[in-house]
Homo-oligomer: A and B are copies of this chain.
Amino acid sequence: MALTATDMATGLDTIRRVRDLRACVASWRGAGLKVGLVPTMGALHGGHFSLVRRSVASLDRTIVTLFVNPRQFGPNEDFARYPRDEAGDAAALARQGAQVLFAPSLEEMYPEGAVTTVAVPDIGDLLEGEFRPGFFTGVATVVAKLLIQAAPDVAFFGEKDFQQLCVIKRMATDLDLPVTIEGCPIVREDDGLALSSRNAYLSAEERKRAPALHRILQSVVTRVREGGAGCVAAAEALAARELLVAGFEKVDYVAVRDASSLAPIASVGAPARVLAAAWLGRTRLIDNLPLSGS
């Protein structure tokens, strides 16, 4: 590993070039080791750490990637102000037991002339896709690249971005990528707010209101469990009104959907999920809950 910078105190290598990442993974493979990958945009929190711990517990080596991917931000979104703290992230990852932080530059990921896109139509056009055009194409493209670059056995993604998890599973299956995509449960604050790097944007006042999103999604789950598929539309509409009453300025959607296709559900038999996106001031929060099972 002559090409990597090792923090001797922690054992975490920071790698910035794809070729060095490949050399590292090839040496692990040569030793028969299994590799886990945790793609992130940095600004790491307990949600990310739960993914890292899961990888560390189940695989021999864990790579965490840190790349704030411009292609998944819209022109009016928060790419420039997205929180960045690589040094803090690296220190935390060393404590979690990861072996490699892969933190490529923009030029390394998208050299001049790079134009290829990976798109997941249908599932990527719904919900978040309606409100963030091109978002999932940006996500699918960068994740396809990371999975091809690192060639892990398992890659871990949080259920917090539930639609993203569905899109990535679809993409990895459709492109025949030899990797298992593993979704991991949402990690929440004590008051129910799902951990998110964007929570850092919330004012103290907004932070107090934010847990209403989780609480109101719980109400949707209860109502649909009790009332069946026939009450879905009413439960979605009621939840949107409740969010406004709770201090959210705008509700992009509250939707009960099939847990795989994200299509509207006709009955409550198959696994389903309630998903929502709503605005607290300038901050857009998303959250979701399973309708049945865990």
A171–B171 CA distance with the chains assembled, in angstroms? 16
Give the chain B neighbours of A219 by CB distance below 8 A.
none
Complex interface residues of chain A between 116 and 146 (CB less than 8 A to chain B): 116-123, 140, 144-145
Interface residue? A87 (CB, 8 A): no
Q: How far is the CB of A231 from chain B (nearest CB, A)?
A: 28
The answer to whether A115 and B174 have CB atoms under 8 Å apart is yes
A111–B149 CA distance with the chains assembled, in angstroms? 25
Give the chain B neighbours of A120 by CB distance below 8 A.
115-116
Give the chain B neighbours of A144 by CB distance below 8 A.
175
Q: Which residue of B lies closest to A124 (CB)?
A: B115
The answer to whether B119 and A117 have CB atoms under 8 Å apart is yes
Give the chain B neighbours of A123 by CB distance below 8 A.
115
Interface residue? A22 (CB, 8 A): yes
Interface residue? A268 (CB, 8 A): no
The answer to whether B116 and A176 have CB atoms under 8 Å apart is no
Interface size on A, residues (CB 8 A): 28
Give the chain B neighbours of A22 by CB distance below 8 A.
178
Q: Which residue of B lies closest to A146 (CB)?
A: B176
The answer to whether A148 and B175 have CB atoms under 8 Å apart is yes
Cβ 8 A contact of A176, one of B148, B174, B176: B148
A246–B149 CA distance with the chains assembled, in angstroms? 50
Counting chain B CB atoms within 10 Å of each CB, which of A119, A122, A140, A261 scores highest?
A119
Q: Which residue of B lies closest to A171 (CB)?
A: B116
Interface residue? A59 (CB, 8 A): no
A121–B117 CA distance with the chains assembled, in angstroms? 8
A122–B117 CA distance with the chains assembled, in angstroms? 11
Cβ 8 A contact of A116, one of B115, B148, B170, B178: B170
Complex interface residues of chain A between 76 and 122 (CB less than 8 A to chain B): 111, 113-122
Q: How far is the CB of A149 from chain B (nearest CB, A)?
A: 5
Complex interface residues of chain A between 162 and 184 (CB less than 8 A to chain B): 170-171, 173-178
A113–B122 CA distance with the chains assembled, in angstroms? 10
| Residues of A that sit less than 8 Å from B by CB | 18, 22, 111, 113-123, 140, 144-145, 148-149, 170-171, 173-178, 261
Q: Which 6 A-B pairs have the closest CB atoms?
A: A116-B174, A114-B174, A149-B176, A148-B176, A115-B121, A116-B171
Q: List 24 A-B contacts (CB under 8 A).
A: A18-B176, A111-B173, A113-B261, A114-B173, A114-B174, A115-B121, A115-B122, A115-B123, A116-B119, A116-B121, A116-B170, A116-B174, A116-B175, A117-B119, A117-B121, A118-B118, A118-B175, A144-B175, A145-B176, A148-B148, A148-B175, A148-B177, A148-B178, A149-B176
Given A18-B176, A115-B122, A115-B123, output 7 extra A-B contacts at Cβ < 8 Å: A113-B170, A113-B261, A115-B121, A116-B119, A116-B121, A117-B119, A148-B175
